[in-house]
A and B are shown apart, each in its own frame.
Chain A
Amino acid sequence: MRFAELKNYQSELRAFQLRLGLAGFMVLAAFGLLLARFIWLQVVQHDAYRAKADENRIAVVPVAPSRGLILDRNGEVLARNTLAYTLEIFPAQVKDLEATIAALAEYVDIQPRDRARFRKLLQETRNAESLPIRTRLSDEEVARIAVNRWRFTGVDIRARLFRQYPHGDVASHALGYIGRVTTRDQERLEELGDAANYRGTDYIGKAGIEASYQQELHGITGFERVEIDAAGRGVRTLSGTASQPGNNIGLTLDIRLQEVAEAAFGERRGALVAIEPASGGVLAFVSKPGYDPNLFVDGIDPLSWEALNNSADLPLTNRAIAGVYPPGSTFKPFMALAALELGKRTPRSTIHDPGYFVFGDRRFRDSKPGGHGAVDLYKSIVMSSDTYYYMLANDLGIDAIAGFMKRFGFGARTGIDLEGEATGILPSPEWKMARFKRPEQQRWYAGETISIGIGQGYNAYTPAQLAQAMATLANNGAMFKPRLVSNVDNTRTGERRTLEPELVRQVTLKAEHIEFIKRAMIGVTKEGTGARAFAGAQYTSGGKTGTAQVIAMKQNEKYDESKVAERLRDHSLYIAFAPAEGPKIALAVLVENGGFGARAAAPIARTVLDYFLLGKLPAAAKRPVPEIEVDSDAESD
Chain B
Amino acid sequence: MEIAGHSLHRLRERLVEGIDGPLFALALALTAIGMAALYSASYENAARLAAQLGNLAVALVAMWLVAQIPPQTLLRLAVPAYVVALALLLGVALAGEVVNGARRWLNLGIGRFQPSEIMKIAMPLMLAWYFHCREGSIRLRDFALAAVLLAVPVLLVARQPDLGTALLIACAGFSVIFFAGLSWRVLAGLGVLVLAALAPLWGMLHDYQRRRILTLLDPTTDPLGSGYHIIQSTIAVGSGGFTGKGWLNGSQTHLEFIPERATDFIFAVFSEEFGLIGNVVLLTLYALLIARGLSIAAQAPTMFTRLLAGAVTLIFFTYAFVNMGMVAGILPVVGLPLPFISYGGSALATLYIGIGILMSIYRHRNLVQT
Which has the most chain B C-beta neighbours within 10 Å: A27, A45, A46, A230?
A27
- The interface bits of chain A over 1-40 (1 if a CB of B lies within 8 angstroms of the residue's CB, else 0) are 0000100100010011101100110011011011101110
Q: Which residues of B contact A19 (CB under 8 A)?
A: 178-179, 181
Within 8 A of B (CB), among A18-73: 19-20, 23-24, 27-28, 30-31, 33-35, 37-39, 41-43, 45-46, 48-50, 52-53, 56-57
Among B237, B290, B297, the residue within 8 A (CB) of A38 is B237
* Chain B CB within 8 A of A399 CB: no
Does B239 lie within 8 Å of A17, measured CB to CB? no
CB distance from B172 to the nearest CB of A (A): 13
- Chain A's closest residue to B135 (CB) is A12
- Kindly specify which of B27-35, B321-329, B358-366 makes contact with the partner chain: B321-329
CA distance A31 to B306 in the complex (A): 23
Q: Does A228 contact B (CB under 8 A)?
A: yes
- How far, in Å, is B273 (CB) from chain A's closest CB? 12
**Is B271 engaged at the interface, CB distance under 8 Å to the other chain?**
yes
For A50, the closest partner residue in chain B by CB is B239
Is B241 part of the binding interface, using a Cβ–Cβ cutoff of 8 Å? Answer: yes
Chain B residues near A27 (CB, 8 Å)?
287, 290, 294, 314, 317, 321
Contact stretch, chosen from B82-90, B121-129, B157-165, B278-286: B278-286
Which residue of B136, B257, B286, B329 is within 8 Å of A31 (Cβ)? B286
B225 → chain A closest CB, angstroms: 14
Closest B residue to A1 by CB, please name it.
B370
Q: Contacts of B178 on A, CB cut-off 8 Å?
A: 19, 23
Separation of A509 and B37 alpha carbons in the complex (Å): 92
- Bound complex: CA of A45 vs CA of B237, how far in Å? 10
The one of B179, B255, B324 that contacts A34, using a Cβ cutoff of 8 Å: B324
Distance between Cα atoms of A30 and B280 in the complex (Å): 14
A502 interface contact, C-beta 8 A: no
Is the C-beta of B256 less than 8 angstroms from some C-beta in chain A?
yes
Contacts of B237 in A (CB 8 A): 38, 41-42, 49
Return the chain B residue nearest A42 by Cβ: B276
Q: Is the CB of A34 within 8 A of B321?
A: yes
- In the complex, whether A307 has a CB less than 8 A from a CB of chain B is no
Q: How far is the CA of A28 from the CA of B179 in the complex (A)?
A: 18
Q: How large is the interface on B (under 10, 10 to 19, 20 to 34, 35 or more residues)?
A: 35 or more
Say whether A53 contacts B252, CB under 8 Å: yes
Q: Please state if B239 and A38 are interface contacts (CB–CB under 8 Å).
A: no
Q: Known contacts A27-B317, A33-B330: does B298 contact A17 (CB below 8 Å)?
A: yes
B252 touches A56 (CB 8 A): yes
Whether B235 and A53, one on each chain, are in contact in the complex, defined by CB atoms closer than 8 angstroms, is: yes
Taking a contact as CB atoms under 8 Å apart, the answer to whether B236 and A53 are in contact is: yes
Q: Evaluate contact between A43 and B294: CB separation under 8 angstroms.
A: no
The docked-state distance in angstroms from the alpha carbon of A28 to that of B240 is 24
Determine if B251 is an interface residue (Cβ-Cβ < 8 Å).
yes
Counting CB contacts under 8 A, is A231 at the interface? yes
Residues of B within 8 A of A50 (CB): 238-239, 241
A55: nearest residue on chain B (CB-CB)? B235
B240 near A42 (CB under 8 angstroms)?
yes
Q: Are A41 and B238 in contact (CB under 8 A)?
A: yes
A43 touches B280 (CB 8 A): no
State the Cβ distance, A29 to closest chain B Cβ, in Å: 10
Shortest Cβ distance from residue A226 to the other chain B in the assembled complex, whole angstroms: 12
In the complex, whether B24 has a CB less than 8 A from a CB of chain A is no
Cβ–Cβ contact B257 & A229, under 8 A = yes
Q: Are A8 and B287 in contact (CB under 8 A)?
A: no
- On whether A235 and B294 interact (CB within 8 A), knowing A19-B178, A34-B325, the answer reads no
In contact, A30 and B321 (Cβ under 8 angstroms):
yes
A16 and B302 CA atoms in complex are apart in Å by: 11
B40 proximity list for chain A (CB < 8 A): none
Contact A34–B283 (Cβ < 8 Å): yes
Question: Cβ of B175 < 8 Å from any Cβ of A?
Answer: yes
Query: Separation in Å of the B242 CB from the closest CB of chain A?
Result: 6
**Which B residues lie within 8 Å of A57 (CB)?**
251, 255
Instruction: Indicate if B15 sits at the interface (CB-CB under 8 A).
Output: no
Chain A residues near B329: list those with CB within 8 A.
37, 41
Contact at B255–A56, with CB atoms within 8 Å? yes
A88→B280 CA distance, assembly (Å): 50
**In the complex, which residues of chain A have a beta carbon less than 8 angstroms from the beta carbon of B298?**
17, 20
**A residues 354-393 touching B (CB-CB < 8 Å):** none
CB-based contact B330/A37 at 8 Å: yes
Instruction: Using A19-B179, A46-B238, A230-B256 as known contacts, say yes or no to A53 and B286 having CB atoms under 8 A apart.
Output: no
Contact A46 B239 (CB under 8 A): yes
Least distance between A304 CB and chain B CB atoms (Å) = 36
Contacts of B354 in A (CB 8 A): none
Task: For the complex, give the distance between the alpha carbons of A24 and B297 in Å.
Answer: 11
| Contact, CB under 8 Å: B257 / A56 | yes
A574 to chain B, nearest CB (A): 62
Contact of A24 (CB < 8 Å), options: B235, B276, B291: B291
A34 and B257 contact, Cβ closer than 8 Å, known pairs A42-B238, A42-B275, A53-B239: no
B310 touching A23 by the CB < 8 A rule? yes
Determine the chain B residues whose CB is within 8 A of the CB of A43 once the complex forms.
241-242, 276
Are A20 and B294 CB-contacts (below 8 A) given A38-B237, A42-B240, A53-B252? yes
Within 8 Å by CB of A12, from B181, B251, B325, B330, lies B181
Return chain B residues, CB-CB under 8 Å to A12.
Answer: 136, 181
Collect the chain B residues with CB atoms within 8 Å of residue A30's CB.
317, 321
* Residue of B with least CB distance to A56: B257
Q: Across the interface, do A228 and B255 meet the contact criterion of CB distance under 8 Å? A: yes
Bits for B240-271, please: 1 = Cβ < 8 Å to A, else 0: 11100000000110011100000000000001
**In the bound complex, CA of A107 to CA of B279 (Å):** 55
Q: B238: which A residues are within 8 A, CB to CB?
A: 41-42, 45-46, 48-50, 52-53
Contacts of B280 in A (CB 8 A): 35, 38
Is B234 interfacial (CB 8 A cutoff)? yes
CB neighbours of A24 from chain B (8 A): 290-291, 294
The 5 A-B residue pairs with the shortest CB-CB distance in the complex, in nearest-first order:
A49-B238, A53-B239, A41-B238, A230-B257, A229-B256
Q: Which residues of A are interface residues toward B (Cβ below 8 A)? A: 5, 8, 12, 15-17, 19-20, 23-24, 27-28, 30-31, 33-35, 37-39, 41-43, 45-46, 48-50, 52-53, 56-57, 227-231, 235
16 pairs, CB–CB < 8 Å, chain A vs chain B? A8-B136, A16-B181, A16-B306, A17-B298, A20-B294, A27-B287, A27-B314, A37-B329, A42-B238, A43-B276, A46-B241, A49-B238, A50-B239, A56-B235, A230-B255, A235-B255
